[in-house]
Structure 1
Amino acid sequence: MTLNRFCYVLLIFAAIASLLTPNPLVIWFLLINLLTIVMYGADKMAARKGMRRVPEATLLVFGVTGGWPGAIVGQQLFRHKTQKQPFKTYFFISVVVSIAMMAVVYHLSSYSSLY
């Protein structure tokens, strides 16, 4: 199994595990951020060893799904993807999209709790 597929399998497991808890949103954000940090570390290690890498699109998907704080920590911790300009632009867009999605979910959840 490639590293990319393994990342998506972990994403699915994180989603299922978070749904089985009393606070699924909190657990989701904890899991997705932890996985994102680990993914940045694994990608940096693969880059150093010349192995198959995690595609940038996968890193961005994890950022959009709520893992952007973990991505920022992973970038700084591993000094990975901090200089590549196209990625930095796409990453910023993914952060904005993620925050907008969180705002919509929050707005819809607070709206539905009124009724």
Structure 2
Amino acid sequence: MNLNRFCYLLLILSAIGSIFTPHPVATWLLLANLLTLLIYGADKMAARKAWRRVPESTLLVFGVVGGWPGAIVGQQLFRHKTQKQPFKTWFVVSVIVSISAMVAVYRFYPFLPS
């Protein structure tokens, strides 16, 4: 199976699994961050061994869906994607989009208490 598809499969399984928990949003954020951290580690290992890599777009998507704290930890822990300037710029944009989406859902979702 393609590594990129496997990453997205894990993300979908995490989303489905979090729905069935008492606190689905908290569970989703925990799973997304752990998965993002693991993917950054796997991509760093693949880079060292000249294996097939995880595309940067996939790493950015994982940040947008809530895994950006795990991405920041993975970048620092594995020393991965810390120097590449175009990626760093897009990563900051993805964090802003993610936070904006979370604020919008919290602010405008009708079933959440104010």
What is the TM-score when the length of structure 2 is the normalising length? 0.96
Judge conservation of contact 2:106–2:112 (CA < 8 Å) in 1: no
Matched, 1:76 2:76: yes
1:36-55 superposed matches below 5 A: 36-55=36-55
Partner of 1:67: 67
Change (3 A) 1:113 1:55: closer
Q: Distance in 2 between matches of 1:33 and 1:3?
A: 18
Partner of 2:86: 86
Q: Distance in 2 between matches of 1:76 and 1:43?
A: 14
Q: Distance in 1 between matches of 2:24 and 2:75?
A: 26
Partner of 2:108: 108
Q: CA deviation at 1:112?
A: 3.4
Q: Distance in 2 between matches of 1:12 and 1:98?
A: 17
Q: Distance in 2 between matches of 1:69 and 1:102?
A: 14
Where 1:21 maps in the other structure, the secondary structure is: coil
Judge conservation of contact 2:33–2:71 (CA < 8 Å) in 1: yes
Q: Look up the equivalent residue of 1:82 and give its one-letter code.
A: T
Question: Identity percentage over the alignment?
Answer: 69
What is the TM-score when the length of structure 1 is the normalising length? 0.95
Gaps of 5+ in 2: none
Structural RMSD (CA): 1.0
Q: CA deviation at 1:30?
A: 0.2
Number of corresponding residues: 113
